[in-house]
């Protein structure tokens, strides 16, 4: 648990540092995705963002994991008066587990598609996304989440 908290602190401080050095006014957000993942989002431009997250449901063995994604917001349109922002992207996640005296490192890449629904008059955004992962066959992962943008 301590390692997870350390990784979260490093991710957030890194994104804050990038925000301070970046051009323009990038947006910074933090959120929670289900299945359980705490993440931070850095909007590099109004159409491109980078996310880095830490899964909170780690295995019972000694383990550490991180997820990174690059998202391209395709366009913005209104659905029933609500702003809708679809996106596509690529990402990857790495996991390190220790089982007995053996250390296992897993690295997987995924393509993703999703949609953001900014909640009017608030700084919150609801999101839903699908990951397609290659590995021992194709796998689909579905995420729903909530993000707060600073």
Among 80-84, 99-103, 129-133, 140-144, which is the least confidently predicted range? 99-103
What residues form DSSP beta bridges with 140? 132
* Mean pLDDT for the chain overall: 80
Which residues fall within 8 angstroms of residue 103, CB to CB, at 6 or more apart?
A: 96, 97
Q: What is the reported pLDDT for 127?
A: 95
CB of 64 within 8 A of CB of 47?
Answer: no
CB of 38 within 8 A of CB of 32?
Answer: yes
**44 three-state secondary structure:** coil
Structural domain of residue 103, as residue ranges?
2-27+34-149
What's the CATH code of the domain at 141? 2.40.160
* Total of domains in the chain: 1
Which DSSP category does 119 fall into? P
What residues form DSSP beta bridges with 99? 102
Task: Write out 6-39 in H/E/C secondary structure.
Answer: HHHHHHHHHHHHHHHHCCCCCEEEEEEEECCEEE
Res. 123 pLDDT band, cuts 50 70 90 = very high
Strand 48-55 and strand 27-34: the pairing is unpaired
Q: What is the reported pLDDT for 117?
A: 93
Res. 128 pLDDT band, cuts 50 70 90 = very high
Lookup: tokens for 27: 């947006």
Is the pLDDT score of 3 beyond 70?
no
């Amino acid at each position: 648990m301590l390692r997870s908290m350390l990784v979260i602190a490093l991710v957030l401080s890194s994104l804050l540092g990038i925000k301070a050095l970046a051009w323009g006014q990038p947006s910074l957000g933090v959120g929670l995705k289900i299945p359980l993942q705490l993440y931070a989002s850095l909007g590099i431009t109004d159409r491109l963002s980078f996310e880095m997250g830490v899964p909170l449901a780690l295995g019972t063995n000694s383990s550490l994991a991180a997820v990174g994604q690059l998202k391209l917001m395709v366009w913005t349109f209104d659905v029933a008066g609500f702003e809708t922002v679809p996106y596509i992207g690529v990402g990857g996640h790495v996991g390190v587990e220790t089982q007995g005296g053996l250390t296992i490192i897993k690295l997987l890449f995924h393509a993703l598609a999703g949609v953001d629904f900014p909640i009017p008059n608030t700084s919150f955004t609801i999101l839903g996304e699908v990951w397609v992962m290659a590995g021992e066959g194709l796998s689909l992962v579905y995420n729903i989440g909530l993000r707060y943008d600073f």
